Structure 1
Amino acid sequence: MTETVQWMNDGTPYSPRFGDRYHSEAAHALAQAEQVFLAGCGLPLAWAGQPQWRILETGFGFGLNFLVTWHAWQADPARPALLHFASTEAFPVSAADLLAQARKFPHLLPLAQELAAQWWGLLPGVHRLRLAQGQVLLSLLIGDSQTMLRQQALVADSIYLDGFSPARNPDMWSLHTIKAVARCARRGTQLSTWTIAAQLRRDLAQCGFEVRKVPGTPPKRDNLHAVFAPRWEPRSAPLWALGAQTLPAGWASGARHVAIVGAGIAGAACARQLALRGWQVTVLDAANHPAAGASALPAGIFAPHTSSDDSLLSRITRAGQRCTLQWAEQLLQAGVDWDMTGVLERRQLATPNDETAAHGDGLATAVVRRAAHERPPSWSGDVAAPAAAWSLEASADQLQSQGLPADTPALWHPRGGWLRPAALVHALLDHPGIRFVGDAQVDALQALDGASHWSLCNAQGQELAQADLVVLCAGPHSASIGINGQAPRAGQALQTIRGQVSWGVYPAGQAPIVRHPVNGHGSWVPYFLSGAAGDAAWVMGSSFERGQHQLPPTAEDAAAAHAGNWAKLRTLLPDGYRPDAAAFAQAQHWAQLRCASTDRLPLVGPLLPATALPSGLLSPWVATAMGSRGLTWALLCAELLAARLHGEPLPVSNPLALALASDRYCQ
C-alpha cells in the first residue's frame, strides 16, 4: 500500500494517482503548515496549560503539518503533557520518501527520523505511533477519511482540513466527509484550511461551523477559518454500554490518586499510563515484589496472530504487538531483556480451538480452524509490502536452519521475538509517580460514605489504601475482589488457567547459533539470558490447564506437564537444534496461574454502570484476562483504559475497542 511518488525537477513531490503536486516549493509548504494550520487554529497559545491537546487532520501526506506541530509542542514550555494527533491517509507514502521530503527542513529532520523508524506495516486500519517517549501519540487512520472517522471514537480540539484540491480529490471534501469531521468536533473546536471553495463553506456551515475568510499565506489571498458552534445540541449514539465514564472536568488539574491491584504486566502498564497523565499511583500486590505471578515467566514470545479472514483476534494482536515493540525499544535493553529476532510459526501445528475459533467473525468453527494462521488472500497487490512487515511465508533457509524440510507450511513473523516479562514490569514501574506496596492482598473495595473515593481492604477488613480510582489487574484474583459487598460483575466471565513450562541453562559455550523462537504446538524460545549472571537459557511450554488453581502443582501434575512439553518440542522440531532427552529431563520447572475470559479476549474498562454510581464517584476499572498473550496485549489494553478514562482518541478502532470492553460482561 506504499504510494508511488514522483519527484519533479524542482524537488517537489507529485502524485500520479491524483495528477497533482503534494504541495509547491519547500518554503511555501513550511509556511502553509505553520501559518494556515498551526497558527490558523490558534496554536500553540490555545493548548497552553492543558493536560492534553487533540488534533485531527485529513490527509497526512508527507507529515509536514504533523512535524511542524510536534516541533512547536517540543519548543513550548507551556505545552500539554500529551499531544494527540490523528490523521487520515488512504495512500501512505514510503518511509524513504517521507525522509527525502523532511531533509529540506533540517530543524524537522530528527523528528522525521523518529517517525520513520515506526513507519512500517501500515495496513488499512488504525495504527498508533508513540513518539517523544510516549508524550506525542500519532494515530494514523489508514483508509478512506469518511469511513475511518466513523470507526473512531475521537473528539478534536483543533482540525486541520488538508488534502489534494477539491477538483482532484472531491471525496475528501464532500459533504459526507465534512459530516464525519464534524462528528469529531466539540463546541469551540477551531478548524483551518487553505481552500475557500464556496461549496466547502456551505457544507461546513450546514454541519455546525461558523465560517469566515482570513488573510491567506502568499501566494494565496485568503484562507478559511471555522469554529464549531452549532445552533443545535449535537447528539450521538452512545458507544459504551456502561457509559463513557470519563473523568469529571474538575479533575483535570487536581491531585488524583489511583490504586492498581496487581503488579504484573497489566498492572505495571496501567500504572505507567496513568502516571504519564499526572496520577499519583500506588500499586498493591499480595507478593512482596513485582512480577511474582504469571509475569515471572522466564521468557515469553511476542508475535502477531494471522488468519485468512484477518479476524478480530488478528487485528487486535497486531495493534498490541506494535505497542509492545514501542515500549520495549523505549525501556528495555535489546539482546538482554528482549530481542526482535523474528519468530517462525509452524501453521499445521497451531491450536486454534482455544483462541481462533472464538473470533471467526461469524464463520463456522470448522472453517475457522482451517483458516487459522494463514495469511489473508487480500495481503497482495497494493498491501503486499506493509503485510510482509507483519507476516510472510517462511523461506527455505529459515526452515532448514531449524532442521525442517523446505516445504514445511510455516510463517515468518519478522518483528516477533522473545522478552523477559519481569524486566518489562520493573521498567514500567520505574517512574517517580509510581509507588509499589507489597504483602498487600486486596480482597474488598468499599465506597466511603459521603466521599468520592474507595477504601481497599484485605480479608480481615484492614484498610490497605484509599484512592479516587481503583484498577483491578490481579489476574484470576480479580474475580474474587468484592465491591461494596458484592462480587465483581465480570467474575463470571473469568477463567483460571494454569500454565507450566520447562526451562534450562546451556552448558558453557553451547548456546545455539539459531536463536529465533518457534511456535505452533507450544512455544520454544531457544535462547534468552537468565538471572543476574546472564546465563544462556532456553524455555519450552506452556501447558494450558483450565480450572486448575493449585500452586505449586503436585509432583504428578508437574511430571505430566514436563512430559507434555517434551512431546510438543519433539513435534515442533523433530530434527532441529534442541536439548536431547537427557538434557530436557534435567530441566527446571515453573508454574503459575493465568486468567482468560470466556471469549478469549481481555477485559478493559469500568465494572459498574455510570447510573449505579453517586455523583463524583468513579467506578472501579479492570484490565485483565490477558490469557497467554500478556506480552502482546497488556500494554495496548493499558493505553486503551487510559484513553477511555481521559476522553482521548482510542489506540484502536471502535469495533476493536468494543470487543475488548468490560461492558460486554458487566451490563
Structure 2
Amino acid sequence: MTETVQWMADGTPYSPRFGDRYHSEAAHALSQAEQVFLAGCGLPQAWAGHPQWRILETGFGFGLNFLVTWHAWQQDPARPGLLHFVSTEAFPIAAADLLAQARKFPHLLPLAEELAAQWWGLLPGVHRLRLAGGRLLLSLLIGDSQAMLRQQELVADSIYLDGFSPARNPDMWSLHSLKAVARCARRGTQLATWTIAAQLRRDLAQCGFAVRKVPGVPPKRDNLQATFAPQWEPRKAPLWPLGAQALPARLAGGGGHAAIVGAGIAGAACARQLALRGWQVTVLDTASHPAAGASALPAGIFAPHTSSDDSPLSRITRAGQRCSLQWAQQLLQAGQDWEMTGVLERRQLATPPDETAALSDSPAAVPTRRSAHERPPAWKDALAAPAADWSEEASAATLEALGLPADTPALWHPRGGWLRPAALVQALLDHPGIHFVGDAQVQALDALKTAEGQPLWSLSDGQGQQWAQADLVVLCAGPQSASIRINGQSLAAAQALQTIRGQVSWGRYAEGQAPAAHQPVNGHGSWVPYFRIGQDADAAWVMGSSFERGQSALPPSAEDAAAAHAGNGAKLQTLLPEGHRPDAQAFARAQHWAQLRCASTDRLPLVGPLLPTQALQALHTLPEGLASPWVATAMGSRGLTWALLCAELLAARLHAEPLPLPNPLALALASDRYCK
C-alpha cells in the first residue's frame, strides 16, 4: 500500500507513521527547498559547464526539493546536459498526494504532472524514471536509506540531507546512515541540511565532512552546510571484477567517436545513450539497413517476469520493462509502432529452472517444479498496491474476453503489450550524432596510434578493408560478436555465448476479420493477436517462437521450417481455445520468419568491458590510454525488455554515473563474470 498522508487544516501534509509534518506551510517549504538545499549546495552555479551533475537526497517525501532542482536546471542556460537525481524513500506517497501538494506551486505543476505519470509500481528496490526527454534521470531507492545506499554504486556532487526530524526518525540520521551517505561523496562534495543538531554535526565530522553553521531560512536561525574533505584517503571495495574501466579523462565528458557493431535493438540503444552524452557514433552492420537480424521480428511482447522469491531475473526484467515503456512513449507512435494493451500470462509448465531457481540469490537453490504464476507473498498483502501495477491474478472478465474459463490459472500484466522492434531501432538511430554504415562486415579490432599520437581502435574485415576508427568500440552483434578478434585474439567472453534459432508464424487479417480482443497472451509461446504492419498498416497476428539451440543455418531447411511452424501451432492451441485464434486453414497459410538470437549460458545479458586492464596492457602494440572494447549482447528472447536497460547500464558505467540497478543486479549482468 502507499503511505497514508493526512492533510492538516492549514493545508500542510502530516505523517501518522512518524507523528510529524512533512514540512511547514507552502511558502516556507518552497523557500527551504530553494535556499537550504539548492543554494546551500551552491547550485545552480556549481554545475555550470559540467557535462553531468549528480545529486543525492535522503527522503524524497513530496518531491519538492527535486521539483525545485528540476525547475532551476530547466531554466539555466549553463546547465549540464545530463542531471542525475538519486533519492531514498522508505514509504512513497501516492501520486494523487504528490499532485495535490504541487498544485500550490503553479510553476512546478507541469513538472509534477510529468513525474506523476511515471509514479507507479514503486516496489522496494531501484526505480529509474526518465524525465525531460531522458536528460533528467531520477533514481528512486525505495527502502531503508542505509541499506539502499550500500547497494548502489554512486558518486554524488551534491547531497541534500533531508527527512523527518532526528527525534521522529532517528534511523535516518544515525551514524551508520551518515556513513552510507559519505560513501557516496567525492572530495569536495557539498552537503546541505536544515537541522543543526549537535550530534549530527559530530557524526558528519567523523564521516569526513567539514561542517559549518550558516544563517537559516526564517523562522530557523541556522542551517547546516558541509564539504566532504576527509583527512584520510577514502577507499571503497572494488565492485567490478575487471576494475571500473572508466573512460580516459579526454573522453569522460563525451565528444569522442564511438563505433557500435550491430544495428539491432541493443546496438541502436547503445548508440542513442552515447549520443545523448555528446559522442559521435558510427553504427556498423553486415546488412544494408538497420534491424535486419533478430530485430526484424514482425512484433514482439514486452511483459514482466514473476517468481515467488522475486529472483534477480524478475527484478531485472521489471527494471527493463519500465525503461522500454518510457522510451516507447517518448519515441514511438502508439497503436502503430506499439501499444500497452496488457498481457495475459498463461503458462502450463513450471518456470524453467534456468530462469528462476538457478538465478536465486541463494547459492543452495536447486531447480524445483513450482507454479509459474506464483508471486511473492508480500505482493498480496503489504505491497499489494504497487505490485498490482506490474502483475496481478487475471480477473474473470479478462479471461472471458479471451474465451478462457474463469478459473484458468493466469496472471495479468497491465503495463505489458506489443511492439515492432524495427520501428524502435529506427527511432533510436534518428539522432544527429548517429551515423549508420551498412554492408560492413567487422571481423577484427586492432589498436593503432594516429600521427598525432592518439590511440584508436581500427575496425576492419580482417582482410584490409577498414570500416571505421574509434576511441571506443561496443560490440552488439549478437552471435556474430563471438567471431570478432581483438589484436588477433579471440574474445574472452565468447565461450559464454550461445546461438539459438527462432521461427515465428504470422499472417494478415482479411478486411473486417481482426479479433475483438487485442491483448497478447504468453507463457508456452507468445501470441500477438493484433498489430499493424506494412505501409498500408494492415492488421496482422504473430505466434512464436521456436527455440532451436545450436542451430545457426538461415534460412532453415524446409523440414525444419515445417516442424517449427507445426510447433508454433501446437503452442497456440494450448494458449487459447478455438474462436480466439486462427483456424487450422488460416494457420497453415501463415508466413514464416526465422532469425538467430544470442544468449549466455546463465540466460542473462552481458554488459561491460571485454578485457581487464592488465590484459589490455599485455596485448602487443597496444597504445596507452586506449579503453577496452565493451559489449552489450546476449539478450536472448527478451531483447524488447532488456536492451534499453542494458544500454543505459553500459553508459552509466562508462561515465561514472549512478547505475539504473542496485549493485547485485548490475553485477549479474556484467561481462566481467566471464572474464576472470
TM-score by length of 2: 0.97
- The aligned residue for residue 511 of structure 1 is 514
- The aligned residue for residue 571 of structure 1 is 574
> Would the aligned equivalents of 2:192 and 2:225 in 1 still touch at CA under 8 Å?
yes
- The aligned residue for residue 123 of structure 1 is 123
Equivalent runs, 1:637-652 vs 2, <5 Å: 637-652=646-661
> Would the aligned equivalents of 1:41 and 1:191 in 2 still touch at CA under 8 Å?
yes
Instruction: Identify if the C-alpha distance between structure 1 residues 207 and 576 changes in structure 2 by more than 3 Å, giving closer, same or farther.
Output: farther
- The aligned residue for residue 145 of structure 1 is 145
Equivalent runs, 1:24-423 vs 2, <5 Å: 24-253=24-253, 255-349=255-349, 352-353=352-353, 355-362=355-362, 368-423=368-423
> Would the aligned equivalents of 1:404 and 1:575 in 2 still touch at CA under 8 Å?
no
**Cα distance, 1:380 vs structure 2:** 2.8
SS of residue in 1 equivalent to 2:625 = coil
Name the stretch that deviates more: 598-607 or 241-250: 241-250
1:546 aligns with 2:549: yes
Matching residue's letter, 2:632 = A
Matching residue's letter, 1:659 = A
Matching residue's letter, 2:220 = K
Matching residue's letter, 1:533 = D
| Distance in 1, Cα, partners of 2:368 & 2:111 | 43
| Distance in 2, Cα, partners of 1:138 & 1:656 | 18
SS of residue in 2 equivalent to 1:378 = helix
Instruction: Identify if the C-alpha distance between structure 1 residues 543 and 253 changes in structure 2 by more than 3 Å, giving closer, same or farther.
Output: closer
- The aligned residue for residue 639 of structure 2 is 630
Post-superposition Cα deviations, 1:410-455, rounded to whole Å, max 9, x if no partner, equal: 0000000000000000000000000000000100101115642100
| Distance in 2, Cα, partners of 1:346 & 1:541 | 14
| Distance in 2, Cα, partners of 1:564 & 1:655 | 37
Post-superposition Cα deviations, 1:482-522, rounded to whole Å, max 9, x if no partner, equal: 01101111100000000000000001110111000001110
Unaligned 5+ runs, structure 1: none
> Would the aligned equivalents of 1:320 and 1:635 in 2 still touch at CA under 8 Å?
yes
- The aligned residue for residue 621 of structure 2 is none
> Would the aligned equivalents of 1:182 and 1:208 in 2 still touch at CA under 8 Å?
yes
> Would the aligned equivalents of 1:452 and 1:618 in 2 still touch at CA under 8 Å?
no
SS of residue in 1 equivalent to 2:17 = coil
Post-superposition Cα deviations, 1:163-198, rounded to whole Å, max 9, x if no partner, equal: 000000000000000000000000000000000000
| Distance in 2, Cα, partners of 1:275 & 1:558 | 40
1:582 aligns with 2:591: no
**Cα distance, 1:365 vs structure 2:** 7.0
> Would the aligned equivalents of 1:124 and 1:142 in 2 still touch at CA under 8 Å?
yes
**Cα distance, 1:349 vs structure 2:** 3.9
> Would the aligned equivalents of 2:373 and 2:409 in 1 still touch at CA under 8 Å?
no
| Distance in 2, Cα, partners of 1:537 & 1:254 | 42
1:654 aligns with 2:663: yes
| Distance in 2, Cα, partners of 1:334 & 1:375 | 30
Post-superposition Cα deviations, 1:145-174, rounded to whole Å, max 9, x if no partner, equal: 000000000000000000000000000000
| Distance in 1, Cα, partners of 2:55 & 2:605 | 29
> Would the aligned equivalents of 1:312 and 1:361 in 2 still touch at CA under 8 Å?
yes
SS of residue in 1 equivalent to 2:379 = coil
| Distance in 2, Cα, partners of 1:244 & 1:373 | 38
| Distance in 2, Cα, partners of 1:336 & 1:426 | 14
TM-score by length of 1: 0.99
- The aligned residue for residue 591 of structure 1 is 594
SS of residue in 2 equivalent to 1:453 = strand
**Cα distance, 1:362 vs structure 2:** 3.5
Post-superposition Cα deviations, 1:292-320, rounded to whole Å, max 9, x if no partner, equal: 00000000000000000100100000000
> Would the aligned equivalents of 1:55 and 1:157 in 2 still touch at CA under 8 Å?
yes
**Cα distance, 1:613 vs structure 2:** 2.8
What RMSD in Å do the two structures reach over aligned CA positions? 1.2
> Would the aligned equivalents of 1:490 and 1:665 in 2 still touch at CA under 8 Å?
yes
| Distance in 2, Cα, partners of 1:494 & 1:422 | 24
1:471 aligns with 2:474: yes
Post-superposition Cα deviations, 1:633-666, rounded to whole Å, max 9, x if no partner, equal: 0000000000000000000000000000000001
SS of residue in 1 equivalent to 2:535 = coil
SS of residue in 2 equivalent to 1:263 = coil
| Distance in 2, Cα, partners of 1:634 & 1:390 | 19
**Cα distance, 1:363 vs structure 2:** 7.3
Equivalent runs, 1:488-499 vs 2, <5 Å: 488-499=491-502
SS of residue in 1 equivalent to 2:559 = helix
1:556 aligns with 2:565: no
- The aligned residue for residue 453 of structure 1 is 456
> Would the aligned equivalents of 1:481 and 1:488 in 2 still touch at CA under 8 Å?
yes
SS of residue in 1 equivalent to 2:203 = helix
% identical equivalent positions:
84
> Would the aligned equivalents of 1:347 and 1:411 in 2 still touch at CA under 8 Å?
no
**Cα distance, 1:126 vs structure 2:** 0.2
Matching residue's letter, 1:507 = A
> Would the aligned equivalents of 1:2 and 1:382 in 2 still touch at CA under 8 Å?
no
Matching residue's letter, 1:603 = L
| Distance in 1, Cα, partners of 2:285 & 2:490 | 19
| Distance in 2, Cα, partners of 1:19 & 1:353 | 46
Name the stretch that deviates more: 244-253 or 191-200: 244-253
Matching residue's letter, 1:377 = P
Matching residue's letter, 1:666 = C
| Distance in 2, Cα, partners of 1:613 & 1:526 | 50
| Distance in 1, Cα, partners of 2:640 & 2:255 | 31
| Distance in 2, Cα, partners of 1:318 & 1:134 | 19
Post-superposition Cα deviations, 1:325-354, rounded to whole Å, max 9, x if no partner, equal: 000000000011000000000133465245
SS of residue in 2 equivalent to 1:379 = helix
Matching residue's letter, 1:571 = T
Post-superposition Cα deviations, 1:458-504, rounded to whole Å, max 9, x if no partner, equal: 14231110000000000000011001101111100000000000000
1:481 aligns with 2:484: yes
Name the stretch that deviates more: 441-450 or 518-527: 441-450
> Would the aligned equivalents of 2:358 and 2:367 in 1 still touch at CA under 8 Å?
no
Post-superposition Cα deviations, 1:372-425, rounded to whole Å, max 9, x if no partner, equal: 442111213331100000000000111111111110100000000000000000
- The aligned residue for residue 663 of structure 1 is 672
Matching residue's letter, 1:628 = S
**Cα distance, 1:359 vs structure 2:** 1.6
> Would the aligned equivalents of 2:127 and 2:319 in 1 still touch at CA under 8 Å?
yes
Unaligned 5+ runs, structure 2: 618-623
SS of residue in 2 equivalent to 1:636 = helix
